Amino acid sequence: MSHKRFAVTITRDFGSMGRPIAKKTAEILGIECYDRDIVEETAKRMNMPLSSVSDLEESAKNMFFGMKYPLGMGTTDVQDNIFIAQQKIINQLVEKESCIIVGRCSDYILKNMENAFHVYIYASYEDKLDNCVNLLGMKEAEARKMINDVDKARMQYHKHYAGYAMNDPKYKDLMINSHFLGVDGTAELLADIVRKKFLTEEE
């Protein structure tokens, strides 16, 4: 087997189960999946409390609150510095090993990487609501608010730093409705595509 070092970036709607799909895909492929770890490493490098970087996550009563503002609620300067630090961390991770990176504008940060595969995971509003309530254990009113608030914040954040919408097909290699095959089926499909593209048999 020849093995090119590669990176899979996963951008996702809130409630589309993008995070569990990313983790499952990484497990199938035997590679690392980086998500909140990037936020923790950023906090360490910038000598800031994790709560400042990941947006009061520690003090929030609701575990999903931290997803609303992906990179802190500080001034633009602070947010810019956090973005620069995360950019460095993402570049260092992909230089070291093949991996999956969830969110954090990773599709934009790695846009010039030759062996990168950019995926957008979405689902209908009804399916996202169903996932939030039945798979993530949220109350319906809370789930509706989070789907609206988190997606809006992610869109604004991505547009601000990347200059394009996170669901713009022009910048994606694959866009997939997670409801079609479910978490396991979607992860298996992504793993198959990665194997075909990057893990090829030598002639």
The answer to whether position 1 is within a domain reads no
In a domain, 59, yes or no: yes
> Is 201 part of any domain?
no
Give yes or no for a contact between 171 and 107, defined as CB atoms under 8 angstroms apart: yes
pLDDT at position 132, please?
94
pTM (predicted TM-score)? 0.84
Distance between CA atoms of 28 and 8, rounded to whole angstroms?
Answer: 13
pLDDT in tens, 4-39: 799 999 999 999 999 999 999 999 999 999 988 888
> 181 lies in a domain?
yes
pLDDT at 51 over 80: no
- What is the 8-class DSSP label of residue 84? H
* CATH code, domain with 26: 3.40.50.300
Look up the domain containing 12 and give its range: 7-195
What total number of domains does the chain contain?
Answer: 1
Residue 160 CA to residue 16 CA, distance in Å, equals 23
Q: Is residue 141 one of the residues assigned to a domain?
A: yes
Can you give the pLDDT at residue 49? 75
Q: Both ends of the chain: CA-CA distance in Å?
A: 9
Helix (H) or strand (E) holding 116: strand 116-122
- Give me the residue label for tokens 């409630």: 15
Share of residues in the chain with pLDDT > 90 (%): 62
Rounded mean pLDDT, 81-98: 92
Q: Is the pLDDT of residue 186 over 60?
A: yes
Indicate if the pLDDT at residue 56 is higher than 60.
no
In a domain, 200, yes or no: no
Residue 85 domain-assigned? yes
Provide the token pair at 6: 């590669």
| Tokens coding 81 | 């510095």
Q: Is residue 115 part of a domain?
A: yes
